[in-house]
Amino acid sequence: MSGRSAVAPLTRLEGLGFVVDPLDRLSYRREDADEVARLRARGDARAIVIARDMPVLLRTEARLEPLLPISEIETLGGAQIEALLGVTSGGAPVFAALIRDEAVEEQSDASDGFLDRRVLVVPGRDDLKLIDLRSIAAGGLVPPDEASMLASAKALMHWHARRRFCSNCGARNEVAAAGWRRQCPVCKMQHFPRTDPVVIMLAVDGDACLLGRQPRFPKGMYSALAGFLEPGETIEAAVRREIQEEAGVACGEVRYFASQPWPFPSSLMIGCFAEARSLALEVDRVELEDARWFPRDEALALLERRHPDGLAAPIPMAIAHHLLKRWAYDGVNFR
Amino acid sequence: MSGRSAVAPLTRLEGLGFVVDPLDRLSYRREDADEVARLRARGDARAIVIARDMPVLLRTEARLEPLLPISEIETLGGAQIEALLGVTSGGAPVFAALIRDEAVEEQSDASDGFLDRRVLVVPGRDDLKLIDLRSIAAGGLVPPDEASMLASAKALMHWHARRRFCSNCGARNEVAAAGWRRQCPVCKMQHFPRTDPVVIMLAVDGDACLLGRQPRFPKGMYSALAGFLEPGETIEAAVRREIQEEAGVACGEVRYFASQPWPFPSSLMIGCFAEARSLALEVDRVELEDARWFPRDEALALLERRHPDGLAAPIPMAIAHHLLKRWAYDGVNFR
């Protein structure tokens, strides 16, 4: 069962966020400026508008609409960066646009727990609402395919916003390839959007699995261990290293489970199971507040939110939820 | 069988390059400058020296030694960048060092096919030999564990060499965390080493598999299709997109096979199998010179270098070789 596609059939990963990629990205068209301009000029062209890393949604009678008429880009003062995301199955071109920071105003807000606390508004536009993508996805405010488009747009614009200068020579670089490349007019270095591979894994020992909690987690939440893959590592080596470093547990076999784009800011979550070869815990207190072995019945209680100590698993939008669920309900075969 | 670890047991991926990660990376020690200095001062400390992206090897009676005495860094004029790679199983600290470009001289060379054509020398040091990492790995010039260390060192130094300036504000940034971070003294942005996920996959239809050749390939070589994963994509979506774009073939189920660090310059190769749902080919002639379906008997001939037309599979150092081998000998189960 491991190694199965993360998107087909979707029901097997019910609620996993950002995994439905609905667009034909038209990547072979990106160098064709005329074609990109034609697509942008079409009446059915739409824009996903990002301001200070947050999507701008259009409030309609029925719902919050993430695909705005492309004319809104100009209405909102124009874009710093635009990118062609692709075309929908219906054939509508979709662009991502990063508007100027000054186009929105920050307001303080009552805390809503672990969600982003900034509230941004577009002055004079009560029909527009800015909501951080985590809240949009966690709250199911838009359908899965739109959440995926928002993820691509946010990750790409976040990258652009912090790549105005050439890292090689310090000159201001230029946008190219319909927003999918930056290049330096001085040293000619080309810069491509960055995606950081992150391993997130459930170490298991027969009928028990290893979960930890970071200080920033919501109260009572325990999740799978995770960390960035480093240059020179295989996925499997990174999985073993992170479990060893964070919990002091040695692991043998590693099995791939599924992957998930995680646009906070621009990661690829690579979900795996790891076969524990030791049980004694030595928790890295810098990374983790706690780590412990949970027997299967407790894991089920975490998933079903009925744990006697009020502990809980991550919500279904996160791949950690599905790692735990797959193991708790179906088990994992390392042989 | 898919989803198995790429490194255990190694014999199942005989000859795959850069997958043996022999070092304890001591990542939790990187912020401790005193500890890093203590490790560097040890008599058994070693350095992997990189000059202009190429490893500097020490020629001994017996072999080419990639782990130089750390004192060689000063002998060679000092390092632009140093990084703590970790400690060997024997406990020896290993550092990576990028020496100044001027410490080596370029010489022209008779072409050796698809391998790097530059030849660099250290003036007055006949005991030192610079060889590009592709040739080192392809030729088996060093043991697998040393090739992996060279891969980590090369990828990390390549990243540093092109990240001297802050991409966010253009200021010169500084090296931190024992060579595992750069940070901007002006805007305070932190920059981490980059690893680019690349999907490389074999599309299969029962008893046939899809291979293509890029113009830059050595004569007669056919390999698995591949491409960079983009922001907002799952591994599975990237696999389907690349096959659709490059060959016009639609795919359904995707199965993870294995992963491989590929330090040219700093990729993570994610090997997968994809279940073809169409057979008609529409080859992207910008990316590929040719793409075609190979029946299993021809695939075996490619692997065993006995194809009647002189066609051949990539060498075992490349994961494409093992994707083809796994399918040709064992088959792939998508259910």
pLDDT digits (tens, 9 = 90+) for A227-270: 999 999 999 999 999 999 999 999 999 999 999 999 999 999 99
pLDDT in tens, A22-45: 999 999 999 999 999 999 999 999
Name the token pair of B172. 């010169």
CB of A186 within 8 Å of any CB in chain B?
no
Q: What is the DSSP letter of B167?
A: T
Check residue B106 and give its pLDDT. 87
The pLDDT mean for chain A works out to: 93
Alpha carbon of A78 to those of A56, A71, A98, B260, B312: distances in Å? 14, 9, 9, 43, 53
Q: What percent helix, strand, coil does chain A show, rounded to 5?
A: 25, 30, 45
Name the token pair of A330. 């179906």
Q: Are strands B79-87 and B93-99 parallel, antiparallel or unpaired?
A: antiparallel
Alpha-carbon span B308 to B328, nearest angstrom: 18
A-chain CB neighbours of B229 within 8 Å are: 195, 268
The answer to whether A327 touches A202, Cβ cutoff 8 Å, is: yes
**Measured between CB atoms, which of A19, A21, A245 is closest to B27?**
A245
Alpha-carbon span A128 to A58, nearest angstrom: 5
The residue in chain B having the minimum alpha-carbon distance to the alpha carbon of residue A233 is: B261
Identify the residue among A229, A235, A277, A287 best suited for mutation to test binding to B, counting B beta carbons within 10 A and taking the highest: A235
Q: State how far residue A319 is from chain B, nearest Cα, in angstroms.
A: 12
Check residue A40 and give its pLDDT. 98
- pTM for this structure? 0.94
Alpha-carbon span A103 to A56, nearest angstrom: 11
Residue whose C-alpha is closest to residue B29's, from B38, B21, B20? B38
A65-79, A196-210, B96-110, B157-171: least confident range: B96-110
Q: How close are the terminal C-alpha atoms of chain B, in Å?
A: 12
The answer to whether A97 touches A82, Cβ cutoff 8 Å, is: yes
Q: What is the percent of chain B with per-residue pLDDT over 70, rounded to a whole number?
A: 94
Alpha-carbon span B320 to B282, nearest angstrom: 21
Check residue A107 and give its pLDDT. 83
Residue whose C-alpha is closest to residue A25's, from A152, A133, A146, A145? A152
Q: How close are the terminal C-alpha atoms of chain A, in Å?
A: 12
CB of B7 within 8 Å of any CB in chain A?
yes
pLDDT in tens, A293-320: 999 999 999 999 999 999 999 999 999 9
pLDDT band at A10 (very low <50, low <70, confident <90, very high): very low
Backbone angles phi, psi at A13, to 5 degrees: -130, 50
Region A136-143 average pLDDT = 95
Alpha carbon of B35 to those of A190, B28, B41, B73, B127: distances in Å? 37, 11, 10, 19, 32
Alpha-carbon span B101 to B98, nearest angstrom: 9
Fill in the amino acid letter for B305. R
Name the token pair of B187. 């805007």
Radius of gyration of chain B (CA): 22
The residue in chain B having the minimum alpha-carbon distance to the alpha carbon of residue A253 is: B5
Name the token pair of B143. 């043991």
Q: What is the percent of chain A with per-residue pLDDT over 70, rounded to a whole number?
A: 94
Residue written as token pair 């034609």 = A38
Would the CB atoms of B152 and A230 count as touching at under 8 Å?
Answer: yes
Residue A81 has pLDDT above 80, yes or no: yes
Residue B211 has pLDDT above 50, yes or no: yes
Identify the residue among A150, A256, A326 best suited for mutation to test binding to B, counting B beta carbons within 10 A and taking the highest: A256
B-chain CB neighbours of A162 within 8 Å are: 167-168, 189
pLDDT band at B11 (very low <50, low <70, confident <90, very high): very low
pLDDT band at A3 (very low <50, low <70, confident <90, very high): very low
- State the DSSP H helix or E strand holding residue A155, giving kind and residue range, or none if neither: helix A144-161
Region B110-117 average pLDDT = 57
Number of Cβ within 10 Å of residue B137's Cβ equals 24
Give the 3-state secondary structure of residue B158.
helix
pLDDT band at B276 (very low <50, low <70, confident <90, very high): very high
Check residue A222 and give its pLDDT. 98
Region A73-86 average pLDDT = 98
The answer to whether A268 touches A261, Cβ cutoff 8 Å, is: yes
The two most distant CA atoms of chain B are separated, in Å, by 62
Region B215-236 average pLDDT = 97
Residue B112 has pLDDT above 60, yes or no: no
Alpha-carbon span A328 to A326, nearest angstrom: 6
The interface predicted TM-score (ipTM) is 0.94
Please, which residues 296-325 of chain B have a Cβ atom closer than 8 Å to chain A?
none
**Measured between CB atoms, which of A6, A169, A234 is closest to B21?**
A234
Residue written as token pair 């891969």 = B151
Name the token pair of A235. 């996925």
Residue A7 has pLDDT above 50, yes or no: no
Region B180-191 average pLDDT = 98
pLDDT band at B115 (very low <50, low <70, confident <90, very high): low
B-chain CB neighbours of A172 within 8 Å are: 170
Check residue A122 and give its pLDDT. 96
Alpha carbon of B245 to those of B5, B66, B241, B253, B287: distances in Å? 29, 41, 6, 17, 9
Backbone angles phi, psi at B172, to 5 degrees: -70, 130
Bridge partners for A59 per DSSP? A64
Fill in the amino acid letter for B276. A
Check residue B259 and give its pLDDT. 98
Beta-carbon pairs below 8 A across chains A and B:
202
Fill in the amino acid letter for B68. L
Residue A117 has pLDDT above 80, yes or no: no
Name the token pair of B323. 């994707």
Region A96-116 average pLDDT = 80
Check residue B9 and give its pLDDT. 40
Radius of gyration of chain A (CA): 22
CB of B190 within 8 Å of any CB in chain A?
no
B-chain CB neighbours of A197 within 8 Å are: 195, 197, 268
The pLDDT mean for chain B works out to: 93
Residue written as token pair 């030729």 = B139
CB of B172 within 8 Å of any CB in chain A?
yes
pLDDT band at B21 (very low <50, low <70, confident <90, very high): confident
Name the token pair of B161. 């060499």
Residue whose C-alpha is closest to residue A86's, from A145, A137, A138, A133? A145
Residue B65 has pLDDT above 80, yes or no: yes
Residues contacting B110, CB < 8 A, separation 6+: none
B-chain CB neighbours of A178 within 8 Å are: none
Bridge partners for A97 per DSSP? A49, A82
Bridge partners for A290 per DSSP? A213
**Measured between CB atoms, which of A21, A192, A229 is closest to B195?**
A229
CB of B10 within 8 Å of any CB in chain A?
no
Fill in the amino acid letter for B214. Q
The angle, 0 to 180 degrees and rounded to 10, between the axes of the packed helices B319-330 and B296-303 is: 140
Dihedral-angle region of residue B201 (phi above 0 means left; psi in -120 to 50 means alpha; beta otherwise): beta
The residue in chain A having the minimum alpha-carbon distance to the alpha carbon of residue B172 is: A170
